[in-house]
Amino acid sequence: MTEKKNQLGPKRRDFLLDLLKKSREPLKAAHLAEITGVSRQVIVQDMALLRAGQEPVISTPQGYILLKASPKGVQRIIFSRHSMQDTERELTLLVDLGVQVLDVGVEHSVYGKISRPLNLKSRFDVKNFMSQITQKDTSLLSSLTDGLHIHTLEASSVEILDRACEVLTEEGFLVKL
C-alpha cells in the first residue's frame, strides 16, 4: 500500500475509501493510522464520517471493510441458542460447510434489535474472533438474551444453507420460531 501521510481530512477519507474498495481483506485501524500518519482515533472518526456520508463501511473484529453492493450468494437469517462455550463449535461448523457468518444480533426487550457484523468465513476468522472475546474478557451479545441470537448466513447455494441448518438442528443450536 502506498503511504499518504499528513493529508487533510477530506483527501485522507477519499484515500481510505479507495484502500477499502481495493482491499480483499479487512483493514485494521492501527494499520490505516500508520499509513496515513494520524492516530487510530482519527481513523475511527474518519470511518464514522464515511458512514455518515452513506458509504457502506462496516467495522468487523478483523478490521474495516466496505460492503459490496450485491451478495455473492444466497442469504438466510437463522435463530440460534447455545452457551458461550458452544460459540466456537457453532461458528466452526458453519464455516466448515462453506457458510459465511455475516453478522450476529439479538432482539433485546428494551433496546430492540442490536447487531454487529462478523464476516467470518474460515476457521482462522473464527479463532481470531474467539481470541478477541477471550483476550478482552468480554461477553457475547447473546448473553443479553439467554444465549438466543440471530445470524445472517451466506453461501453459494440454498443446498449449502439447508445442510448448515440441518447440522445446527442436530447439534441442538437452531431455534425454530
pLDDT of residue 176: 82
Domains of the chain: 9-66 (1.10.10.10), 74-175 (3.30.1340.20)
Is the Cβ–Cβ distance between 43 and 32 less than 8 Å? yes
Q: Taking residues 101-126, report their average pLDDT.
A: 89
Going by pLDDT thresholds of 50, 70 and 90, the confidence category of residue 6 is low
pLDDT of residue 107: 85
Cβ-defined contacts of 83-91 (< 8 Å, 24+): 83/147, 84/139, 84/140, 84/142, 84/143, 84/147, 86/171, 86/173, 87/130, 87/133, 87/140, 88/126, 88/127, 88/130, 89/171, 90/168, 90/171, 90/173, 91/120, 91/126, 91/129, 91/130
Going by pLDDT thresholds of 50, 70 and 90, the confidence category of residue 97 is very high
Mean of the per-residue pLDDT values for the chain? 87
Is the whole-model pTM more than 0.75?
Answer: no
For residue 67, pLDDT over 60 is answered with yes
Residues 21-30 have pLDDT tens digits of: 888 888 999 9
User: Which three cell numbers mark 168?
Assistant: 445446527
> How far from each other are the two terminal CA atoms of the chain, in whole angstroms?
47
Burial status of residue 52 (CB atoms within 10 A of its CB: 0-12, 13-18, 19 or more): exposed
Question: Per 3-state DSSP, what percentage of the chain is helix, strand, and coil (rounded to 5)?
Answer: 45, 25, 30
pLDDT above 70: percentage of residues in the chain: 93
pLDDT of residue 141: 73
pLDDT of residue 74: 87
